[in-house]
Structures are given as C-alpha cells and as structure tokens.
Structure 1
C-alpha cells in the first residue's frame, strides 16, 4: 500500500457518508474488512480498557465525548492500523511519545484581536462593531 490511508480504506476503517437526502447508500465492506476490521476493533477495545497505553486511552475518552463509543473505537482501530503500517514500513518500534504530544495543550494560548475576529467569522458568527455614545 502506498500510504496508511490506503491500507485503512482497504480494511474498511475510513469514515463514510452512508446517507444522502434520506436515501441509504451501500455500506458494503471490502473483503479484507470482514476479517481485519473486527480484529482491530477487538484490539482497540482491549487497548482502551488497559492502563498500559494511556495515550491511546486518553484519545479514546476525548473522542467518546464528542462522537460516541462506536465511532471512537473505530477511530482507535484506525490509529492502531496506521501505527502498525508505520512500524512495518519504517522498521522502527512503536513510539508512544508521538501520541502524547497531541494530548497536551499549549501552555500559552493567546491570539490577537484580528485572529479572534477571523476565528469567529470562520465559525459562522457575524462580527459587528460596538458603538459607544
């Protein structure tokens, strides 16, 4: 596989849009997905219950709040498959430090007024000038 995304797609671990205008689309699983996907889901479930890899458990807990248990488990399974891909391709051991960095928020979180206005506009807010009399 040229990239980890191709491998995840082949295994059936990529997010899909199964519904459009109320019509169900095909949810066909690739041939590999019927074997690899359940195995990775079981591995992901075991890893998030374990205390051995807190970086994966923390990621699962954050995802579960926003997306729910099933989607969070699929995301963790995709993360595991991506890690396996890179371990095999680069011939390097697993490095948990790569996942711990994303858990820690920056200490100094400041933005300028212009950046705040652009952020608010990108979120769909209408920014109005305040007039004082």
Structure 2
C-alpha cells in the first residue's frame, strides 16, 4: 500500500506556530491523484458535502489551497470508511 501524507508542515519555535503547505512525504503521484479526485468531486459530481467545504474555503483562501484541503478531507473520509467498513455518508447529506 502506498503511503501518502496530506498533512500541513508545522514549524514551532517558542510562542510562534507556522502552518505551511502539505508535506512532501509519501507518493507524489498519489497526492496528485487525490487532488484530481477532489476536483472532480467538488466541480462535476453531486457531492454537496465536499462542494460546500471547498466553496467555504475558496471564498477566503485561494482555490488551490481549498482543493488540497478538500482532497485531505476526502482522504480522511476514505480511511475511516475502510477502517470501519462503512459506506460514504457525509453529515447533512443522505448517501
């Protein structure tokens, strides 16, 4: 199984904490595939949950950061679905 990391790089020193872009650990190809899947989910499918999440972030950040955040949210959902053996059922939307 390929590992992928979509976590932000965090730098801490004393009282300051800086969250950077996603880390470059793991497979770059898998990260790219997740971002492409997130683009499809928010722009062309009827996934209201991810679309609303993306729109909310894109309104205050740039669209690239918003799509990467949506990809990470999708990855976490996939992990929990596989771990728990559950179907995709986002909050507020019936699957």
- Taking structure 1 as the reference length, the TM-score comes to 0.54
Structure 2 residue aligned with 1:56 = 50
Structure whose alpha-carbon radius of gyration is higher: 1
Q: Does 1:16 align with 2:13?
A: no
5+ residue gaps, structure 2 = 12-21
Pick the aligned partner of 1:77 from 60, 63, 71: 71
Q: Does 1:29 align with 2:21?
A: no
Q: How does 1:33-112 map to 2 (within 5 A)?
A: 33-96=27-90, 98=91, 100=92
Show structure 1 runs of 4+ deviating over 3 A: none
Q: What RMSD in Å do the two structures reach over aligned CA positions?
A: 2.3
TM superposition shift of 1:17 = 4.9
Q: Per residue, is there more strand in 1 or in 2? A: 2
Q: Per residue, is there more helix in 1 or in 2? A: 1
- For these two proteins, the number of residue pairs brought into alignment is 82
Q: Secondary structure at the match of 1:75?
A: helix
5+ residue gaps, structure 1 = 1-9, 19-26, 102-133
